[in-house]
Chain A
Amino acid sequence: MAAGVSTPASRPVPGLPPGVVAGLAAIVGADSVLAGSRRLLAYECDGNTVFAGQPEAVVLPHDREEAERVIRFLDEHDVPWLPRGSGTGLSGGAVAERGGVIVDLVRLRRVVRVDPESQRAWVEPGVTNLALTEAVAPCGLFYAPDPSSQVACSIGGNVAENSGGSHCLKYGVTTNHVLGLEVVTARGERLRLGGAAPDLPGYDLTGFFVGSEGTLGVATEAVVRLVRRPQAVRTVLALFPSPDEASQTVSDVIAAGILPAAMEMMDRLAMEGVELGPYRVGYPPESGAVLLVEVDGLEAGLDEQAERIAAVCRRNGVQDVRVARTAEERNLWWQNRKTAFGAMGNLSPSYYVQDGVIPRSRLPRVLRRVEAIGREFGLRIANVFHAGDGNLHPLILFDDRLPGQRERAVRAGSEILRACVEEGGSITGEHGVGIEKREEMRLMYSDEELRFQAELRRVWDPKGLANPGKVLPV
């Protein structure tokens, strides 16, 4: 079966051809090439510690001209390579599983231009998501996709993963906000795709590049849409006996014709984890689920909307529902939610995050299946979701020190993804396929479809050098 879906990963990498490190050093300077195992340790894995691998070398270009020359050089010497941003990815995308060179883009971190009137910004890939929003805040604007990792993750990584975030329910994901790119393709060509103006003629290569996980080339600049800060925001926190009532509430809010900016949920175990962290909200022990709903827009009518949401909660057996009274209170609720992954460290020596998507009306059913999978594998699973768009993040808790636990966690994760696909969903909503889910791609696409996707990839990367082995089954 695998024979049909040949991706470039099969290429063995016995180490770098002679002269490569020297050649890279000639482009970026010797102190910007890391080689030798100690210095490479930091590049062993990304935010997903389950998959590891060491590159032969890391190169840190200072600007896009250097990035272009580096990639052309690697192409000329047939060296496999991969781009890396902040290394917060959760699917092993920035891991040099089979060696090769990592092109680290942290130094490309200029916000090149902001055009507040057109609501556009031109940014280099190493700029962090939050830094971009902070750079445009004085103009009353923000960059809408807001992954929970926004303090650290880079725009280049966001583009490569088509990242989402809590507020994507209303505002859309990265691809809805990236209108153009400058890329260096795997063949070493620097090209502009799309642009700041709407409706530019030609195929939407920008749209194809977004989410391609570093397998087509490097994004050296992104042209992004900026959104005006809403006039007003209301944040509702609701506590329920169990995720069932909270899930029903999510469906009922949508059915009531309300489109919140965000609807986030955590189950009991996740709540216990975050309550042990620095952002304690004080959830009562009898609550089995917390729902955070945010509406924003014009001040006019917003209180009514928040009240309608509260009423839906009450109809679904809510234990307690409140609207944030101050910005501090709202921030605390959000910090509590946004630090949920890391907070699992309070519950377990290791954890493993999954990223399935389901039609939101299937939430209660899928949660029961997740629970059953946890029992079957003998692992505790906490659940954090972008409930509004059906994006689940089961956090599988395990102990890496015990033999076989890690493998069991990975297998449990795969079972959960299978359940999501069976319910009509997807294996990944925002974290990407990477190494982690490449086999599960077979749950989504036929061999023929995968083969066709591989062909399209080769248009950009005929030699199969860019991030080999990621995205498609090997």
Chain B
Amino acid sequence: MERLSLDQQPERPGERPRAAAGAVAPSPPRRILASSEEEVARALAEASAQGLAVLPQGGGSQWGLGEPPRAGDLLLSLAGLRGVVEYAPEELVVRVRAGTPLDELNDFLAPHGQWFPVEPVAAPGATVGGLLATGASGARRLAFGTPRDVTTGVRFVLPDGRVMHNGSRVVKNVAGYDVMRLLIGSLGTLAVLTEAWLRVRPLPARRETLLVGVRDPAEALDLGRRRIASELLPTALELLDPRAAARLGLPARTTLAVALEGDAPEVAYQRERIALLAGGPGGAAPGGFALERLEDGASDAFWRAFHRRLPAGATLVVRASATLADLPALLLAAAESGLEAALVAGPGHGVLRLFAAPAEEEEALARWSGFLRRWREAAEALGGAVVVEKAPDGLRGRFPAWGTPPPAIELMRAVKARFDPRGVLNPGRFVGGI
């Protein structure tokens, strides 16, 4: 371990982005802050040779996702691998190091009139590498997709220290096997990402958010899915239950938040249509709708809070996903569970999250795990899934993070064995105990 300890700058605990309450912040005996790809490679090769369990870390905002690792000897922080390597605004691609915080990337892009619109639902601090490793997304996936849709190339280091790339800076490329897509969403169990080429977008000239108060979730789904999403092109469309609305500083009522981001004429047109569809000013109001309009900076701030404040304030975050036709059943089951949780759901993309802070005592935990088990059963029966993104220790043992392993689990294990035959990376954190 000598060379490792030579390079390493022991991190002071205060410097590390503190994992929010409920995330199992790992505290391995050793930490390394890698500042180059070569250092990552060397650290991994040595750790591998010694059979150490390595936990790669980006911003530390998503430690709660999945199971706590079975072992952890070395925390490999990528926070030092930071910054843009290459940028061609006219190509709409940027090559960036894995440890770069998403905020930093967007600050870099803004003066060029561009942005990277994929923002995860996660506590502040998320990095590019963490985003890709978790495959995480948020409200704007409706218009811009998920990490797998916006990544054109990656560089990565295998657990034995071999450095490789896959894909490239060009947006169309079908040369060879798509190793990149295996890595995206693999939660750092296959390799350590060191760089990515990402597609960026022109910053929308006009940004508005309409907040529509509705009677209940059923009505919100109907308005969101059947009327708004079937006609217009919002860049985000999220249903907030009264608790979620309240946590974002809105009146505690079921609310539909609609982001309109684009050229002025299309934004204006959509705003008017929604007012009409929602029965606001000039429309037939079925359930006494209230419309609030946030413009530009205020609109941006709303969505920033949506993505960050909800997870940061919770000790339990659970994600459910289903097809759009099946989403209402899952949403209603959660809304009617009687448990104290804030709910958000995307009637246009099929992902739903609940945020809660259950008391760490037997009765509450039993009720929660009972509900979550039934909820997962229902979701899986519909071909969907329920996944733990963060949970208090007391709940972990009662409710596994991933649910029934997918039918191709043996193939997944075989893939893992090719990348990481010694089981060095994040052991036990992923699906099926991988």
Contact = CB atoms under 8 A, between A and B. Distances in A.
The yes or no verdict on A and B being binding partners is: yes
Interface of A: 115, 117-120, 161-162, 164, 168, 172-173, 175-176, 185, 191-193, 195-205, 207-208, 210-212, 228, 231, 251, 254-255, 257-259, 297-301, 304-305, 357-361, 386, 389-391, 424-433, 437, 441, 444-446, 448-450, 452-453, 455-457, 459-460, 471-472
A456 B412 contact: no
Interface string B332-364: 000000000000000001110000000000000
Contact of B148 (A207, A297, A298, A450): A207
A198 B350 contact: yes
Contacts of B203: 257
B385 A199 contact: yes
Contacts of A175: 148, 178, 181
A259 B91 CA distance: 12
Given A197-B385, A201-B431, A359-B169, A449 B164 contact: yes
A431 B179 CA distance: 18
A202 B412 contact: yes
B324 A192 contact: no
B111 interface: no
A305 B406 CA distance: 45
Contacts, number: 237
Nearest to A119: B324
A161 B269 CA distance: 40
Contact of B176 (A210, A259, A305, A472): A472
A193 B406 CA distance: 8
Given A196-B323, A197-B385, A200-B385, A259 B179 contact: no
A301 B403 CA distance: 46
A211 B182 CA distance: 13
A202 B266 contact: no
Given A459-B414, A460-B411, A202 B172 contact: no
Contacts of A208: 177-179, 181-182
B350 A197 contact: yes
Contact of B172 (A168, A191, A195, A460): A168
Given A205-B411, A361-B91, A459-B414, A120 B323 contact: yes
B168 A425 contact: yes
Nearest to A300: B269
Contacts of A201: 385, 387, 402-403, 406, 431
B319 interface: yes
Given A162-B174, A429-B170, 11 more contacts: A117-B324, A118-B323, A192-B408, A201-B431, A202-B412, A254-B92, A257-B203, A426-B175, A429-B173, A448-B164, A456-B179
B268 A441 contact: no
Max chain A C-beta neighbours (<10 A), residue from B135, B233, B263: B263
Given A197-B350, A297-B233, A304-B265, A359 B325 contact: no
Contacts of A191: 407-408, 411
A208 B135 CA distance: 15
Given A202-B412, A300-B269, A459-B418, A386 B172 contact: yes
B258 to A, nearest CB: 14
21 contacts: A119-B324, A162-B174, A164-B172, A197-B326, A198-B350, A199-B387, A204-B181, A207-B184, A208-B179, A251-B90, A257-B113, A304-B263, A386-B172, A426-B174, A429-B174, A432-B174, A444-B168, A444-B175, A445-B165, A449-B165, A452-B164
Contacts of B349: 198
A452 B319 CA distance: 34
A198 B269 contact: no
Contacts of B225: 117
Contacts of A455: 418
Given A200-B385, A390-B170, A471-B176, A255 B90 contact: yes
B299 interface: no
A205 B408 contact: yes
Contacts of A162: 174, 178
B382 to A, nearest CB: 8
B321 A300 contact: no
Contacts of A192: 406-408
Nearest to A183: B408
Interface in B19-50: none
Max chain A C-beta neighbours (<10 A), residue from B88, B266, B432: B266
A173 B172 contact: yes
Contacts of B265: 300-301, 304
Interface in B72-123: 88-92, 113
Contacts of B409: 202
B251 interface: no
B370 interface: no
Nearest to B181: A207
A420 to B, nearest CB: 9
A228 B172 contact: no
Contact of A298 (B137, B269, B382): B269
B221 to A, nearest CB: 11
Pairs of residues from A and B, 3 with the lowest C-beta to C-beta distance, nearest first: A207-B181, A300-B269, A301-B265
Contacts of B175: 426-428, 433, 437, 441, 444-445
Contacts of B176: 433, 441, 444-445, 450, 453, 471-472
A317 to B, nearest CB: 19
Nearest to B180: A207
A348 to B, nearest CB: 27
A426 B168 contact: yes
A411 B263 CA distance: 47
Given A191-B407, A204-B148, A305-B263, A453 B182 contact: no
Contacts of B172: 164, 168, 173, 357, 386, 389-391, 426, 429-430
A200 B264 CA distance: 36
Contact of A199 (B135, B324, B403): B135
Max chain B C-beta neighbours (<10 A), residue from A191, A203, A472: A203
A117 B173 contact: no
Contacts of A257: 113, 202-203, 205
A251 B405 CA distance: 46
Nearest to B268: A300
A18 B403 CA distance: 47
Interface in B137-195: 137, 141, 145-146, 148-149, 158, 162, 164-166, 168-179, 181-182, 184-186, 190
Given A172-B145, A205-B412, A161 B174 contact: yes
A115 B382 CA distance: 13
B232 interface: yes
